[in-house]
Structures are given as structure tokens and as C-alpha cells.
């Protein structure tokens, strides 16, 4: 796959920038990502440059320091040799990969690293566990060249001229897409939000169920947190075991579609609620998914529970067993992806412990106060990268710090600094 990428940005920090840093997730694995050229356009002059690599971090030195509000353009050309997907594999390996019936393109391009004024580029050591990225909001204009018989599942379609399709997605943390010559598209809407579900052959019935569940989930989470942020939402069947959230798009487990047995007590329904919730927790309220992944995953897990409590109360006990208790989760909530050897162990432990923490927090606050707290936390952190201290600073408005510390003594390795003061 050949890609040309243009990045237009301005320095929004009072610091002078001497370099710009991208994370290139596919570069973690050998022989997948190949950078062919990189040019910088600044002051009306274009320079070719040789960037420096630190693991997946692509460091682009600038010809001069870039000051506040000064703009720059970076042009990259690269190729991707996509790996074959393991149908029972766990991400992030294979987030960008192909199977006989689907190609999935997640975390596939050089993405800007967040910049912290006074501290610099917020880089990290990439480890292939969970969702090991930190994502800023950006506007995307995308052109995809593909044969006309290939269906592209992607948000923001602007034009479709057969083998050339264009897309625009604003205020997004990522642009991702899936493609297949076997997709069937199912359509619906929730108010003004267009819903599309893309499934492969034989999964139309389960796709119809997902379409219904998406509508219910968007309605519930809009009620509890705030409006869904995009004019459309897409779920596309992927080619492996796990599911991944992106802006306005979810790549949903092909295994979950295949194993669906026709009722709510299924991985398909639980994952649908979970991944829809990520549009609020990851999408609108971002977080450091490397060092504080609990901030979006605890929310998404608990949103599954809220969803079952609202729509399938008779299945709540099943949910606790199937999604949490059967895995006998151990450890702490405030871990990083570096604390685990693989995604399976990470998911079965941190997700479950985080769900129990959220349940106990609700029990301490009371159900109504808890929802008020979550809405408040959401409102305070819209379009930001929230931290655990943001979470607990807000929580202190609803519970005494001493009570919160009792919970964190059980579930956290370290007492959050927001709870250190009386």
C-alpha cells in the first residue's frame, strides 16, 4: 500500500519547537512500514530531511525553531506491507492487517504526539498491549484509491467516483477504515445520526441486531453524558478476535459476529455497548492510553453494565460473570500497558478490576449521585486529555477524600495526588 501524507500544523504552545514528533505504530513490527521520503515546507522553502527514529517515534528536526502560532507543513511518503491477520489474534498486532475477506486499517499512519508546554513532546515506549497510543484531536482529509468493487467502511464520505473516494472527518483522534469485497451495508439512524453496519457474508442477521443495539446505546449514552460528537457512526466487522475504537468508527470482532447465538447474553452485544461508549470515553474525553488506560476502559466497561441494567436487567448477573468474574481479575486499576506481557492478560485483569472499582464507587456515592459525577467529569474534560487527577478532583465534589482513599487503597497501587490533601 502506497501512502502520501501531508500534515499542516501550527505551534499552539508558548514553547519554541525545534522538532516535531510522530508515533508510527506499524514501525514496531519489522518489514511493515517503510518511510520513502519526508519534506518540510517552512518560510516558503521546502527541505528534504532525514528524521531520527527512537522505537516507533519519528523525530523530525526543524530548520529553525517554530514559535507560537507559526505554521509548518510536513509531507511524508511511505509504504505499508500489511501482515496477515490471525482470526483469533489480539490487537494491537494486526490493527493494520488483512484477511481473505477484510483489510483493516487502524493506527496505520504517522500520528502527531501530544505536546505539553514546558515539558516537550509526550513520547512513550511502544509496547504491543492494549491501545498503546496517545491521541490528539485533528481534522482529516483523506483520499482512498481502491477498485470500485471494494466497499470502504469509513466515516466522513464526501465523494465516490468509483475507484476514488474522498473523506473529511473533523475533531477526530484517528482516521481509520476497513475494506472488503464481501461487505453488506445495513443502515439506520438515531435522530440525525446516520448508522452504518458492515458485515461479511452470513452475518446479516447479527448485523441487524448490532444496528438495533447501536441505536439504543447512542440514545442511552447521550442521555447520561452528552451528545454523540459526529453526524454518523460506523461499525465494521473486522478480521480477528478483538475490537477497536476509532473516531466515528468501530472495528468489531469478527469472532463476536460468528459466535452470536441470538440473544443479549453474547459477546457481540456486550462489545457493541463497550465500543459505542468509547466514542465518549476516548473520543470526546481523551486520556493517556499508555500510562492511564483505566480512564477510558473503566468507563467503557461500566457503560456495558449501565447498558445491561437499562435494557437487559435479567442478564446483569450473566454480564458480571461473563465479562468480569470468570476471568478472576487481579491486580490494580492504575497500571500501564507496560505492566503486562500481552493484551489478553491485560484485558482480563485490568478491565475486570476497573469494573469492580467503578461499581464500588457507585455504591459509595449512590446511583443518582454517581451519574451526576460522571456527567460532571465528562463536561469538565470535553476535547481534552484527562488524567486520573482530573477524575478524582471531580470525585471529591461528591465524596470525601477519606472515603475515596479507602477505595483507592483497595484498587490502586498509589494514592492519586488529588486525594493527598485533606
pLDDT digits (tens, 9 = 90+) for 51-70: 999 999 999 999 999 999 99
What percent of the chain clears pLDDT 70, i.e. is strictly above it? 100
Q: Which three cell numbers stand for residue 85?
A: 491477520
**Secondary structure in 3-state letters for 146-181:** CCCCCEEECCCEEEECCCEEEEEEEEECCCCEEEEC
The Cα 338–Cα 400 span in angstroms is 32
Nearest to 214 by CA among 167, 249, 239: 249
Closest CA to 364 of 404, 336, 326, 324: 404
Say which CATH class 82-106+138-172+176-264 falls into: alpha beta
What is the per-residue pLDDT for 298? 99
CATH 3.30.390 matches 298-419: no
Please check the confidence at residue 6 and state whether its pLDDT lies above 90: yes
Question: How many Å separate Cα 172 from the centre of its chain?
Answer: 10
Name the segment(s) of the chain with CATH classification 1.10.390.
298-419
Tell me the mean pLDDT in the region 76-95: 96
Look at residue 407 in the predicted model and tell me its pLDDT: 98
421 pLDDT more than 90? no
Residues 300-329, mean pLDDT to the nearest whole number: 99
User: CATH 2.60.40.1730 residue ranges in the chain?
Assistant: 1-81+109-116
Q: Give the whole-angstrom CA distance, residue 126 versus residue 123.
A: 9
Mean pLDDT of 313-320: 99
Q: What is the mean pLDDT of the chain?
A: 98
Domain 1-81+109-116 in CATH 3.60.21.10? The answer is: no
> At 241, is the pLDDT very low, low, confident or very high (cuts 50, 70, 90)?
very high
Say whether 335 sits in a helix, a strand or coil: coil
Rg (CA), the chain: 21
Q: What share of the chain is helix, strand, coil (3-state, %, to 5)?
A: 30, 30, 35
Return residue ranges of the chain for CATH 3.30.2010.30.
82-106+138-172+176-264
- The residue-averaged pLDDT of 385-405 equals 98
Is it the case that residue 172 has pLDDT exceeding 80?
yes
HSE of 418, CA atoms in CB hemisphere, 13 A: 15
With a cut of 90, say whether residue 276 has pLDDT above it: yes
Please check the confidence at residue 422 and state whether its pLDDT lies above 90: no
CA distance 325 to 303: 17
Q: Which DSSP string corresponds to 226-281? A: ---SSSEEEEEE-SSSS-EEETTEEEE-HHHHHH--SSSSSHHHHHHHHHHHTTTB
> What distance in Å separates the CA atoms of residue 304 and residue 209, rounded to the nearest whole number?
16
End-to-end CA distance of the chain: 56
Amino acid at each position: 500500500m502506497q501512502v502520501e501524507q501531508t500534515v499542516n500544523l501550527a505551534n499552539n504552545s508558548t514553547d519554541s519547537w525545534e522538532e516535531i514528533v510522530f508515533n508510527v505504530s506499524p514501525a514496531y513490527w519489522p518489514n511493515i512500514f517503510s518511510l520513502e521520503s519526508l519534506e518540510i515546507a517552512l518560510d516558503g522553502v521546502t527541505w528534504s530531511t532525514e528524521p531520527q527514529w527512537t522505537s516507533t517515534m519519528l523525530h523530525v528536526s526543524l530548520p529553525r525553531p517554530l514559535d507560537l502560532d507559526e505554521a509548518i507543513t510536513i509531507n511524508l511518503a511511505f509504504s505499508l506491507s500489511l501482515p496477515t491477520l490471525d482470526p483469533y489474534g489480539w490487537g494491537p498486532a494486526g490493527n493494520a492487517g488483512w484477511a481473505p475477506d477484510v483489510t483493516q486499517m487502524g493506527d496505520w499512519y504517522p500520528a502527531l504526539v501530544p505536546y505539553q508546554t514546558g515539558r516537550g513532546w509526550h513520547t512513550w515506549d511502544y509496547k504491543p498491549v492494549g491501545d498503546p497510543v496517545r491521541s490528539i484531536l485533528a481534522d482529516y482529509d483523506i483520499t482512498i484509491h481502491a477498485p470500485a468493487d471494494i466497499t470502504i467502511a469509513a466515516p466522513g464520505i464526501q465523494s465516490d467516483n468509483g475507484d476514488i473516494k474522498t473523506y473529511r472527518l473533523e475533531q477526530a483522534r484517528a482516521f481509520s477504515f476497513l475494506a472488503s469485497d464481501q461487505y453488506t451495508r445495513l443502515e439506520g439512524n438515531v435522530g440525525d445520526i446516520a448508522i452504518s453496519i458492515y458485515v461479511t457474508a452470513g452475518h446479516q442477521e447479527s448485523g441487524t441486531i448490532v444496528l438495533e443495539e447501536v441505536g439504543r446505546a447512542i440514545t442511552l449514552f447521550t442521555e447520561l453524558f452528552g451528545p454523540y460528537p459526529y453526524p454518523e457512526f460506523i461499525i465494521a466487522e473486522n478480521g480477528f478476535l478483538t475490537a477497536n475504537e476509532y473516531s466515528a468508527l468501530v472495528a468489531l470482532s469478527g469472532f463476536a459476529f460468528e459466535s452470536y447465538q441470538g440473544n443479549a447474553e453474547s459477546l457481540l452485544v456486550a462489545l457493541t455497548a463497550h465500543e459505542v461508549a468509547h466514542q465518549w470515553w476516548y473520543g470526546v474525553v481523551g486520556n493517556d492510553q499508555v500510562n492511564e488506560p483505566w480512564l477510558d476502559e473503566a468507563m467503557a466497561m461500566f457503560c456495558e453494565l449501565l447498558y445491561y441494567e437499562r435494557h437487559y436487567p435479567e442478564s446483569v448477573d450473566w454480564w458480571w460473570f461473563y465479562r468480569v468474574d470468570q476471568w478472576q481479575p487481579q491486580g490494580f486499576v492504575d497500571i500501564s500497558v507496560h505492566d503486562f506481557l500481552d493484551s489478553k492478560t491485560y484485558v482480563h485483569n485490568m478491565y475486570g478490576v476497573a469494573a469492580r472499582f467503578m461499581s464500588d464507587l457507585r455504591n459509595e456515592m449512590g446511583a443518582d449521585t454517581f451519574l451526576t459525577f460522571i456527567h460532571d467529569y465528562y463536561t469538565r474534560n470535553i476535547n481534552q486529555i484527562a488524567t486520573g487527577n482530573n477524575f478524582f478532583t471531580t470525585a471529591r465534589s461528591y465524596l470525601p477524600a477519606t472515603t475515596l482513599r479507602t477505595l483507592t487503597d483497595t484498587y490502586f497501587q498509589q494514592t492519586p495526588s488529588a486525594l493527598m490533601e485533606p
